[in-house]
Amino acid sequence: MTVVDCTPFAGDLRALAASLPRVPRADLYAFLESAKAAAAGLPAGLVAELDSFNAHGNQDGYLLLRGLPVEDDEALPTTPNSTPAPVDRPLLVMEAMLGAVGRRLGLHTGYRELRAGTVYHDVYPSPNAHYLSSETSEVLLEFHTEMTYHTLQPNYVMLGCSRADHERTAATLVASVRKALPLLTAEQRARLFDRRMPCSVDVAFRGGVPDPGAIAQVKPLYGDPDDPFLGYDRELLEPAGPEDTKAVDALSKALDEVTEAVHLTPGDVLIVDNFRTTHARTPFTPRWDGRDRWLHRVYIRTDRNGQLSGGERAGDVVSFTPRS
């Protein structure tokens, strides 16, 4: 577990949150500019961890910031049951943390087809959620590299926790390619490396067509053969033929073997390296009492992996082009 204990910084971070615009969605570009300025005042110990993770990644493929400031549960609004959030919703402390920490890492990005192109997503359980949706609860949300079929795939997925599930059973699972790679044979690696495989896309990117099929091509491993990037989605990747299928099965098994479970609690921010990992969420039981599990999610692009071409701003919204 790669945990950064932020409790020593909680007072400073609370002051930082208080310095940001009160209604972030009123002018999100301006809010994210303020967050960048505030990021300059992040504690040096935290900045060092963020910069090192941004430059080199790590073995686990994630950084868990724990002990950040967060509202007391009674002071929080009820957990949302619709999306996107109202434009006039006041800033939450976890949203402030995602703003400042995210700006230290790169640029917050909205995806036009996803949640109406909004940048801050509430992640909460919803009855009758589609099985591929982050709104599921009582079923496993299977391993996925976030939008691995999208040419502008985010470099980081950041999840901030305002509420855990009542029973604290929900775990966010992260499996790192740096740990899985040694479990694969040279033949398996060669089969997976730089080989395009058909991949379906999430419902939001299907253009209203019930099942457009595998409209993208994704390479499970690519980049540096000795330290590759990962593109893996247990539901959407559709290898064709026995050799590719066997190799993806071996990768799948290796990822299961190296999986780490993170039980997010209020005041946690999980930063997932989305080019070196795949993530999932285990089942939990909602009570529909207004106090169900509530995360805040943002996507960050950086200039690594060609995700930025110059001139972009934090808060930009990008359109879908499938990887080919």
Ligand X SMILES: O=C(O)CCC(=O)C(=O)O
Binding site for Fe ion (CB under 5 A): 146
- Structure tokens given for 178: 């740096």
CB atoms within 10 A of CB 304: 14
Candidate list 38, 46, 123, 201; residue touching ligand X; CB under 6 A? 123
Q: Does 146 bind ligand X (CB under 6 A)?
A: yes
Least Å distance, CB 279 to ligand X, is: 6
* Chain CA centroid to CA 287, Å: 25
Q: Does 161 bind ligand X (CB under 6 A)?
A: no
Q: Does 108 bind ligand X (CB under 6 A)?
A: no
Candidate list 38, 93, 141, 216; residue touching ligand X; CB under 6 A? 141
Look at residue 274 and give the partner it binds from ligand X, Fe ion, none, a contact being a CB closer than 5 to 8 Å depending on partner kind: none
- Closer residue to ligand X (CB): 33 or 235: 235
Candidate list 195, 276, 279, 296; residue touching ligand X; CB under 6 A? 279
> Please, are residues 236 and 248 in contact by the beta-carbon 8 Å criterion?
no
Q: Does 175 bind ligand X (CB under 6 A)?
A: no
- Closer residue to ligand X (CB): 150 or 297: 297
Closest residue (Cβ) to Fe ion?
Answer: 146
Q: Does 137 bind ligand X (CB under 6 A)?
A: no
Q: Does 136 bind ligand X (CB under 6 A)?
A: no
- Closer residue to ligand X (CB): 12 or 135: 135
- Closer residue to ligand X (CB): 21 or 61: 61
| Residues in touch with ligand X (CB under 6 A) | 123, 134, 141, 146, 157, 159, 172, 279, 281, 295, 297
